[in-house]
Amino acid sequence: MGIARRVQPVAAVALAVACLAEAGASRQPEPPQPTPALSPVPSPTVAPQSACEPGAAGAVVSPASAPAQFGPVIWSELHYSAHKLIFGASNTLRVETLPAARLAAVLRRPPNARPVPLPEGDAVALVMTTELPFGRHESVTFWLDPTTGAALGGEKTVTGGSSYHKLLRFTDGGLYTWRSEPSSAREEKLGPEGWTHRKQYLAHPAVSPPEGTSVTDAYALLYLASAARLDRKDSSLRLVVLTDKGYVELTFATAGLSRLHVAFDESWPAAGRRRDGDVLVRSVRVTGHALDAAHPQEDVDLGFLGMRGALTIFVEVGSGIPVSFSGRAEHVGNLTVRLDRAVLSGLPPPDPEP
């Protein structure tokens, strides 16, 4: 991944959501918008329920779950689309790796805050680009620790109305942001390098997850669901994400198997096929719980594609690929996002037994 060049992606469908709602909402608003924290717990399918006991302001909330362990995914690129009435949006999610030493040269060091340490080997880069209604475009890159899923840093650019650029660095207590935006219509044409309205800030919520909890970003939700192999029986996951309201624990509860109709192109080195028919999937219910008891526990912002309250992901059994997900987006209503194309890094797995 050419680190020298500026990478700027977005959570595809989320933007679709935000744009469908108002030509361009983004997950990380003006006020310091935090990061996510993660800590999967290997437990069987149960009703989504937080293991956290929210504490008072300034307190550290505890669930003590086992450290997240993630493996490689079989795909290198996923293309999604969403449609609502006459509007539509498309998103591409790409996975890349790069030496942590190269990443260290790109990430800034936040003042007066301790950044999340880089892994010893390679880091994972999630590169997302989204095309939204009314000419709005978003691009986001997030760098993760491939083993724990901890978010290290990120970069985000939005153009086509209310344009801005953010450089992000995750810290042990929140998220540090360097933000720039054009001060005039003339400046907007120059691109992020020429935008002169700049500021920087640290998002540090009063209530934090327990020390040692890996913090990820909600934009990595689909990748981590695949890397955690939630298509397998009795799998589960917990991620703590940081929204503009504070930390939110996302609980992933797997359910039974079912058949889901899909229609997408699948390719791998030297070959490919069109998949149009029913596939075996496992449904995963994602619910949110704010760690700060002072915040409402109903209709929680999941920090993911504008979704609120709950989200259902359908993961293909055998490949671990999220082939569809649906939920309720603010200002938009119920929204379903479907996979249009998958690029695999190797041969596809055999079809699972019925």
pLDDT in tens, 256-285: 999 999 999 999 999 999 999 999 999 999
141 CB-near residues (< 8 Å, 6+ apart): 7, 8, 9, 125, 126, 127, 128, 154, 155, 156
| The pLDDT of residue 276 | 97
Q: What is the mean pLDDT of residues 309-325?
A: 95
What CA–CA distances, in Å, run from 13 to 115, 123, 139, 339?
29, 24, 12, 11
| The pLDDT of residue 354 | 61
pLDDT higher for 214 or 92? 92
Count of structural domains, the chain: 1
pLDDT higher for 294 or 151? 151
Alpha-carbon span 244 to 234, nearest angstrom: 32
Residue 349 lies in a domain: no
**Under a CB-based contact definition with an 8 Å cutoff, are residues 76 and 124 in contact?**
no
DSSP-H helix ranges across the chain: 12-21, 100-104, 185-188, 221-227
Alpha-carbon span 119 to 152, nearest angstrom: 9
For the cut 80, the answer to whether the pLDDT of residue 83 exceeds it is yes
Q: Nearest-5° angle of CA 96, CA 317, CA 346? A: 40
List the single range of 4-8, 152-156, 314-318 with lowest mean pLDDT.
Answer: 4-8
Residue 212 lies in a domain: yes
Confidence (pTM): 0.79
pLDDT higher for 298 or 270? 270
**Would you list the DSSP string of 88-128?**
EEEEEEEEEEEEHHHHHTTSPPPTTS-BPPPPSSEEEEEEE
Alpha-carbon span 295 to 289, nearest angstrom: 10
**Under a CB-based contact definition with an 8 Å cutoff, are residues 38 and 238 in contact?**
yes
The tens digit of pLDDT for each residue in 38-58 reads 333 333 333 333 333 333 333
| The pLDDT of residue 89 | 81
Residue 152 lies in a domain: yes
For the cut 50, the answer to whether the pLDDT of residue 17 exceeds it is no
For the cut 80, the answer to whether the pLDDT of residue 22 exceeds it is no
Range of the domain at 318: 12-344
258 CB-near residues (< 8 Å, 6+ apart): 280, 281, 282, 283
Alpha-carbon span 209 to 67, nearest angstrom: 13
For the cut 50, the answer to whether the pLDDT of residue 85 exceeds it is yes
Q: What is the mean pLDDT of residues 199-228?
A: 90
Residue 87 lies in a domain: yes
Q: What are the strands, taking DSSP E only, across 204-245?
A: 236-243
Residue 351 lies in a domain: no
Residue 337 lies in a domain: yes
Q: pLDDT band for 308, please (50, 70, 90 cuts).
A: confident
- Read off the DSSP letter of residue 304: S
Residue 4 lies in a domain: no
Of 40, 32, 246, 211, give the one whose Cα is nearest residue 114: 211
Residue 202 lies in a domain: yes
Q: What is the mean pLDDT of the chain?
A: 80
For the cut 70, the answer to whether the pLDDT of residue 37 exceeds it is no
